[in-house]
C-alpha cells in the first residue's frame, strides 16, 4: 500500500520511481513476518534526526535476528541521495526496511545472512494542527516477553491497526492503548504527553512501546526550555485530569489533542512544543 503520491524505491543498488515489488512469494519474511522498518521525515529542506532513525533500523534488524547489510551511516547516505529525486522542500516519508529471504534449517527463525534491504521515499505532507480527538482502546499492548516490542517490526502493527480502526468507528481520531497492568502505553501510532499544573508527564518506557525518537527529542527540547518533564506510569484517570494532551511521532511530529473522550482541551502547550521542534529541525544543517 502506498501512502504517498510520488514514490522512489531503492532496491539492490538502484533507485526506481515506483512502488516496486521487493518480496518473493516464498521469501521467509513473506510468510514468517520478519520485516523491520523505520520512518524518518524530510520537510522544508531538513531531515531532523535522520541519523538516529538509521541507527534504530540497524538495532531493530539485530533484534529480529537479521544482519544489516549496510551501516547506519551508509543507509543515511543512500536516503540523502534518494531525496534529490524530488523537488527541494518536498515533504517526504523516509522508510528503510529489512527482512529475511531465507529461514534457518528449522524454517521459523531467520537466516541473518539472507537479509535484504529496501528504502522507500514517498511524498507525504505533514498534517497541520486541527481538530484531533482521543479515546481509550479496549485493546492492549504486549510485553517484551510476549512480543518483539524492542524492534520497529511490521508484525506488531496489526494490533495498532485494530486500535485505530476501533477508535475511528466511534468517531475518534486515535486512541490511548494500555499495557497489561492497565497503565497508558501510547496511542495506535504515537507517543503521548499530558500537561498537569505546569508539569509535562509522559509514560515511562517499560518495554510495551517504542521510546520514540521524536518523543526523546521533544523531552530534551522541553527541558532545555526550562520545563519540568516527568516520565512515569500514567493511568487513564491521569489523562482525564490533564490540562492538555499532545502526541509525538514521526508522521506529524507534534500534534495537539483538542478533545479527550467527551471534554474539549486547549492546545497552547502542544503548539508551543511543536514550535520548539520546528525550531530545532531548522537549526540543523539543510539536506
Contact between 161 and 175 (Cβ < 8 Å) = no
**How is residue 244 annotated by DSSP?**
E
**Of 80, 56, 81, the residue nearest 68 (C-alpha):** 56
Please state, rounded to an integer, the average pLDDT across all residues of the chain: 96
Helix, strand, or coil here: 237?
helix
CA dist., res. 199 & res. 221, Å (int): 14
pLDDT, tens digit, for every residue of 104-154? 877 899 999 999 999 999 999 999 999 999 999 999 999 999 999 999 999
pLDDT tens column, 163-213: 999 999 999 999 999 999 999 999 999 999 999 999 999 999 999 999 999
Mapping DSSP to helix (H, G, I), strand (E, B) and coil, where does residue 158 land?
helix
Q: For position 2, what pLDDT does the model report?
A: 64
- Would the pLDDT of 1 be above 70? no
pLDDT at 231 over 60: yes
pTM over 0.85: yes
Domains recognised in the chain with CATH numbers: 7-123 (3.30.470.10), 133-281 (3.20.10.10)
Return d(Cα 51, Cα 105) in angstroms, integer: 35
Residue 3's pLDDT band, with cuts at 50, 70 and 90, is confident
User: What is the secondary structure of 175-235 as a DSSP string?
Assistant: EEEE-TTS-EEEESSSEEEEEETTEEEEEPP-SSS---HHHHHHHHHHHHTT--EEEE---
pLDDT given for residue 89 in this prediction:
94
179 CB-side CA count, 13 A = 22
* pLDDT score of 80: 97
Q: Which three cell numbers stand for residue 246?
A: 499532545
Q: In 10 A of CB 238, how many CB atoms?
A: 16
Given a cut of 80, is residue 245 above it in pLDDT? yes
Amino acid at each position: 500500500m502506498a501512502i504517498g503520491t510520488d514514490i522512489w524505491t531503492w532496491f539492490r543498488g538502484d533507485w526506481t520511481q515506483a512502488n516496486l515489488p521487493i518480496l518473493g512469494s516464498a521469501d521467509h519474511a513473506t510468510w514468517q513476518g520478519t520485516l523491520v522498518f523505520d520512518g524518518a521525515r524530510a520537510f522544508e529542506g531538513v531531515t531532523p534526526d535522520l541519523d538516529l532513525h538509521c541507527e534504530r533500523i540497524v538495532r531493530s534488524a539485530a533484534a529480529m535476528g537479521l544482519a544489516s547489510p549496510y551501516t547506519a551511516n551508509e543507509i543515511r547516505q543512500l536516503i540523502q541521495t534518494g531525496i534529490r529525486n524530488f523537488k527541494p522542500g518536498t515533504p517526504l516519508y523516509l522508510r528503510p526496511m529489512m527482512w529475511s529471504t531465507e529461514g534457518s534449517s528449522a524454517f521459523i527463525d531467520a537466516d541473518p545472512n539472507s537479509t535484504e534491504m529496501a528504502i522507500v521515499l514517498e511524498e507525504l505532507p505533514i498534517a497541520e494542527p486541527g481538530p484531533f480527538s482521543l479515546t481509550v482502546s479496549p485493546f492492549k499492548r504486549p510485553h517484551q516477553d510476549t512480543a518483539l516490542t524492542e524492534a520497529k517490526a511490521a508484525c506488531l502493527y496489526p494490533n495498532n491497526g485494530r486500535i485505530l480502526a476501533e477508535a475511528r468507528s466511534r468517531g475518534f481520531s486515535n486512541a490511548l492503548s494500555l499495557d497489561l497492568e492497565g497503565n497508558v502505553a501510547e496511542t495506535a501510532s504515537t507517543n503521548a504527553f499530558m500537561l498537569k499544573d505546569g508539569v509535562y508527564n509522559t509514560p515511562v518506557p517499560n518495554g510495551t512501546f517504542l521510546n520514540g525518537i521524536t518523543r526523546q527529542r521533544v523531552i530534551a527540547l522541553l527541558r532545555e526550555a526550562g520545563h519540568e518533564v516527568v516520565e512515569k506510569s500514567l493511568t487513564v484517570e491521569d489523562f482525564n485530569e490533564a490540562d492538555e494532551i499532545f502526541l509525538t511521532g514521526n508522521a506529524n511530529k507534534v500534534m495537539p489533542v483538542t478533545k479527550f473522550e467527551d471534554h474539549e482541551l486547549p492546545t497552547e502547550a502542544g503548539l508551543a512544543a511543536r514550535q520548539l521542534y520546528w525550531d530545532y529541525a531548522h537549526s540543523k544543517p539543510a539536506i
